[in-house]
């Protein structure tokens, strides 16, 4: 797996910010950006391909919308205790065997027993986490009308039910009593959410974001320097103690003011997905084919995209979860980007070649050496904050896995995050 230090060595150009408290010099947060580069021999932005992973998420969003339309405020797969209920009382209320209710929740509620009394607000799961949602037809209906009722496309419904060949035509009629899968929990990414909350994930629902990204110019050798997307920026590293949102917003203002990039993308850690969604990012689908040579490419299967897999990567499973790519379209904000009067350069350092040396010609072909723009209101605020004597927040201790424990928020911060 890629380490943060590897990104600092490989990214070109590389720029960003770090925030330190003035009194002690302790690092409160940092962010680095680069130009998006891919190393797969064949790479496509595609939010509709089955391998991209967005079909289960679209089905989940559709299920949330249906529940809200039915008047639900919480997920019916959970029970939220409003009083000091016992486990036996809850089991009788929801129609489950008490032993089954304990089994479903033993990992989430340590020490849960059949005789336990729960505090108000305790949330219990009523179905297995990986269970599929099904829908049984109360009447005969055409595939087109059913998809309209469910809020799903024909393609998505067919992928959820591969054994149902009848779903291939919009005019085909389905018989009363037919049972179809309408949501596959097991295929959804494990993005942390509040139990029982009805949450729609921010994704490229109709594929337009992926289509716009695919229109961007790119070029390069996937087996050497990579394929460079000169008008797509990437947030490559971000770690912060309470100031993560502020750092990202500062960089987004820089990118908009520079007019150098049309999009910004990132690979999000699952725990950081809600953080980036709040900043306007959406998940976008991507697929690739990996092969040792161009001659072998035609036989290579279309695979989910792994951002740090090499062009000839054979064992993709070593990278763990499929890359959760998120994107933000900067173009709509270009015309309205606020301007200042100082002409402050956003970045003053040219990009480095690999090995730390500056290229004689100023970097790769068609690659901007630095991002420059006029000073925005947020940049002026940055100068004020960076010269302010911030109260120091000591580094957080590491947990058992070696990752920083969740820190307390720093003054003026917008919530910490860790997303490389």
Question: How many CB atoms within 10 Å of residue 273?
Answer: 23
Residue 386 in contact with residue 19, Cβ under 8 Å? yes
Q: Phi/psi at 258 (nearest 5 deg)?
A: -75, -25
Q: Categorize the per-residue pLDDT at 4 as very low, low, confident or very high, splitting at 50, 70 and 90.
A: low
Mean pLDDT value of segment 222-242: 89
Please tell me the predicted confidence (pLDDT) of residue 5: 64
Would you call 215 exposed, middle or buried from its count of C-beta atoms within 10 A (0-12, 13-18, 19+)? Answer: exposed
Question: Each residue of 270-301: pLDDT tens digit?
Answer: 999 999 999 999 999 999 988 777 767 777 88
User: How far is the CA of 232 from the CAs of 14, 278, 314, 358, 415, in angstroms?
Assistant: 14, 20, 27, 22, 26
Residue 213 has pLDDT above 80, yes or no: yes
3-state secondary structure at position 139: coil
Please tell me the predicted confidence (pLDDT) of residue 351: 40
The residue among 70, 37, 99, 105 whose CA lies nearest residue 351 is: 37
The residue among 11, 162, 166, 135 whose CA lies nearest residue 62 is: 135
The residue among 197, 380, 172 whose CA lies nearest residue 274 is: 197
Please tell me the predicted confidence (pLDDT) of residue 17: 92
Question: Each residue of 13-30: pLDDT tens digit?
Answer: 889 999 998 888 899 999
- What is the 8-class DSSP label of residue 83? S
Q: Categorize the per-residue pLDDT at 82 as very low, low, confident or very high, splitting at 50, 70 and 90.
A: confident
Q: Which residues contact 14 (CB under 8 A, 6 or more apart)?
A: 8, 32, 33, 34, 236, 351, 352
Residue 374 has pLDDT above 60, yes or no: no
Question: Each residue of 315-358: pLDDT tens digit?
Answer: 666 666 789 999 999 987 544 444 333 232 333 333 444 444 33
Please tell me the predicted confidence (pLDDT) of residue 343: 31
Q: Which residues contact 160 (CB under 8 A, 6 or more apart)?
A: 55, 56, 59, 152, 180, 181, 182, 183, 184
Please tell me the predicted confidence (pLDDT) of residue 238: 86
Q: Is the dihedral of CA 275, 278, 281, 283 positive or negative?
A: positive
């Amino acid at each position: 797996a890629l380490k943060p230090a590897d990104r600092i060595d490989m990214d070109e150009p590389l720029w960003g910010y770090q925030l330190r408290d003035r009194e002690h010099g302790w690092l409160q947060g940092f962010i680095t950006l680069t130009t998006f580069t891919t190393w797969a021999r064949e790479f496509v932005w595609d939010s509709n391909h089955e391998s991209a992973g967005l079909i289960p998420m679209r089905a989940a969003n559709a299920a949330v919308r249906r529940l809200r339309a039915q008047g639900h405020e919480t997920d019916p797969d959970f029970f939220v205790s409003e009083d000091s209920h016992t486990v036996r009382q809850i089991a009788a209320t929801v129609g489950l065997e008490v032993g089954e209710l304990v089994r479903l929740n033993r990992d989430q509620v340590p020490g849960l027993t059949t005789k336990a009394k729960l505090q108000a607000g305790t949330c219990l799961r009523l179905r297995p986490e990986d269970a599929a949602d099904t829908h049984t037809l109360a009447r005969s209906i055409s595939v087109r009308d059913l998809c309209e009722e469910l809020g799903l496309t024909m393609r998505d419904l067919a992928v959820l039910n591969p054994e149902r060949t009848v779903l291939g035509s919009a005019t085909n009629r389905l018989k009363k009593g037919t049972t179809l899968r309408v949501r596959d929990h097991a295929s959804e990414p494990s993005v942390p959410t509040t139990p029982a909350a009805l949450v729609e994930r921010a994704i490229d629902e109709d594929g337009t974001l992926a289509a716009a990204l695919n229109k961007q110019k790119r070029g390069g050798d996937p087996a050497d320097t990579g394929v460079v997307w000169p008008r797509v920026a990437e947030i490559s590293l971000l770690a912060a103690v309470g100031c993560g949102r502020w750092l990202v917003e500062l960089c987004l203002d820089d990118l908009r003011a520079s007019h150098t990039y049309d999009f910004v993308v990132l690979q999000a850690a699952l725990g950081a997905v809600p953080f980036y969604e709040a900043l306007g990012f959406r998940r976008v689908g991507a697929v690739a084919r990996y092969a040792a040579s161009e001659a072998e490419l035609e036989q290579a299967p279309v695979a989910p995209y792994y951002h740090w897999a090499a062009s000839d990567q054979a064992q993709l499973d070593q990278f763990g979860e499929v890359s959760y790519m998120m994107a933000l379209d900067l173009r709509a904000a270009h015309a309205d980007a606020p301007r200042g009067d100082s002409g402050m350069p956003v970045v003053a350092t040219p990009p480095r070649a690999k090995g730390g040396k500056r290229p004689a010609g100023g970097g790769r072909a068609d690659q901007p050496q630095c991002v420059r723009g006029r000073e925005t209101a947020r940049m002026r605020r940055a100068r004020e904050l960076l010269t302010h004597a911030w109260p120091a927040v000591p580094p957080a201790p590491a947990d058992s896995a070696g990752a920083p424990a969740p820190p307390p928020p720093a003054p003026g911060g917008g919530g910490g995050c860790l997303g490389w």
